[in-house]
Chain A
């Protein structure tokens, strides 16, 4: 079976409602660079989708456009029926940046509290929710610490807690663990999987690691650069029941090979689909 056939609509959850609908989205920067060309993609509720590709393939650009942080040149994006960035509640989306992006002047508690504060909640009302989010990532005892006192992995955990504190439906993660060591990284991978399962989230995870994408996702969207575009859409069923033992199975190895091949294809052919 060749699951890596280009753009096969191979997503596992065909019955769930569509959460994100991208139609023929392109992005051209002012300097003429085409960051993304004709990206069409439907993401359903409850999927864990990885955007995988070399640098410059537009995977972070696509993520920023879905969040509404970046405008696009043509096409359309809707999130939960609303045009991207115009959701009535910005808090429906949690966003985790490449770096932890914490406010150095604020304690861990205040950093996680920020999204609720911006919604107008008082500290008293929000306390329980902030503490819940912190214990979700195992940092309940660090509420009073300052970011500079934490390790890289812990900072990233705070960042995840901040994204989760508004109880979003959609979690967008932009190469969140790229700067972390291997051990921390695989631990955080498991934690993200745990959050995805227990909270019924939809996750879009940008990465350049084949192993990370295969371990985490129910679906890997492989992208190519110059111009940035989608070249493969690979479903990896069974994501919701995987355990860390999955890393040792032949299925995992086979999936890695499959995705690797798809990714290598993007390097060989400059213009695969056009």
Chain B
């Protein structure tokens, strides 16, 4: 009769740590599972459309959307490029403006008290409501769209940068004072690293918002013609009752959004992965 549950023969025979195997499996599943589930949903969609003979002007099958995507590739890509340009430009300007103003807020309470109400007003007023005004006042359409998308993406960066710069540990602040750090050293080595987790969180939000801002602004502008984005393709297709093309453009907007999300998440992990609680993976 054996009391011990440890079998030495089995323990010796093992070469690979089971935890490593488990981790590899987990990593593979993290890629495979979303792909499988998306394929399953597409398959079900295709089946239901074909089985029930749903007309393509109501709900097109995924295969038809894919076909449209290939057929209209060049015009759709032109529009996608426009939307990408608008989104990235507005996001960059939101980062520059938000960070600069956030720094100013963190430096001076007075400035913050004076300017913060305007930032809040801009944020809480729906962009759809402001966009027509901006389109009237600004003659260049691209510039007007840029302002709309910028307003939407700007606020999270501003507010998180201001909070982040103030969030440095007070004992660490004392230590920097004790060693007579210059204001620049304090900013570079204490305030900016402390603010980074807040900034990265804001970047993830602002990335998605800038795309939403770019699409919504274009809807309101209702522009047509050569130099327009994916939102215009969606509008245009709906007027012409080209539903598969509408879905194709919609698909591209989603792909853009997912792309922005993946890039910002990757950036966040790159910057914070080695130290911040939010990005550290722990064994459970």
Q: Which of B144-152, B173-181, B228-236 contacts A (4 or more CB under 8 A)?
A: B173-181
Contacting pair A115 B179 (CB below 8 A):
yes
Contacting pair B175 A91 (CB below 8 A):
no
Determine the chain B residues whose CB is within 8 A of the CB of A247 once the complex forms. Answer: none
CB nearest neighbor in A for B274: A146
**Which of B169, B180, B189, B193 is packed against the most chain A CB atoms within 10 Å?**
B180
CB nearest neighbor in B for A99: B171
Q: Does A177 contact B (CB under 8 A)?
A: no
Contacting pair A69 B280 (CB below 8 A):
no
Contacting pair A103 B185 (CB below 8 A):
no
* Distance of A140 from chain B, by nearest CB (Å): 21
CB nearest neighbor in B for A166: B179
Determine the chain A residues whose CB is within 8 A of the CB of B174 once the complex forms. Answer: 69, 95, 97
A19, B276: Cα distance in complex, Å = 42
Interface residues of B in 149-201 (CB under 8 A from A): 169, 171-172, 174-181, 185, 189-190, 193, 196
Interface residues of A in 55-113 (CB under 8 A from B): 67-69, 90-91, 93, 95, 97-99, 101, 103-106
* Distance of A121 from chain B, by nearest CB (Å): 12
CB nearest neighbor in B for A110: B189
**Which of A114, A119, A146, A147 is packed against the most chain B CB atoms within 10 Å?**
A114
A68, B172: Cα distance in complex, Å = 15
Contacting pair A95 B276 (CB below 8 A):
no
With A146-B275, A148-B275, A148-B280 as contacts: A101 and B175 at CB distance below 8 Å: yes
A126, B65: Cα distance in complex, Å = 63
- Chain A interface helix/strand/loop/mixed: loop
Interface residues of A in 110-137 (CB under 8 A from B): 114-115, 117-119
CB nearest neighbor in B for A68: B178
* Distance of B267 from chain A, by nearest CB (Å): 15
Determine the chain A residues whose CB is within 8 A of the CB of B275 once the complex forms. Answer: 104-106, 146-148
Contacting pair A104 B179 (CB below 8 A):
no
A106, B180: Cα distance in complex, Å = 20
**Which of B174, B179, B190, B193 is packed against the most chain A CB atoms within 10 Å?**
B179
Contacting pair A95 B180 (CB below 8 A):
no
Question: Which residues on A are within 8 Å of B, measured CB to CB?
Answer: 67-69, 90-91, 93, 95, 97-99, 101, 103-106, 114-115, 117-119, 146-148, 166
Some 20 contacts from A to B, beta carbons below 8 A apart, are: A68-B178, A90-B178, A90-B180, A95-B174, A95-B178, A97-B174, A99-B171, A101-B172, A103-B172, A105-B274, A105-B275, A106-B275, A114-B175, A114-B179, A117-B185, A118-B185, A119-B179, A146-B274, A148-B275, A166-B179
Closest 9 interchain pairs by CB? A90-B180, A101-B171, A118-B179, A105-B275, A105-B193, A97-B171, A118-B181, A104-B275, A115-B179
Given contacts A115-B179, A118-B180, 7 further A-B contacts (CB under 8 A): A97-B171, A98-B171, A101-B172, A105-B275, A119-B179, A146-B275, A148-B280
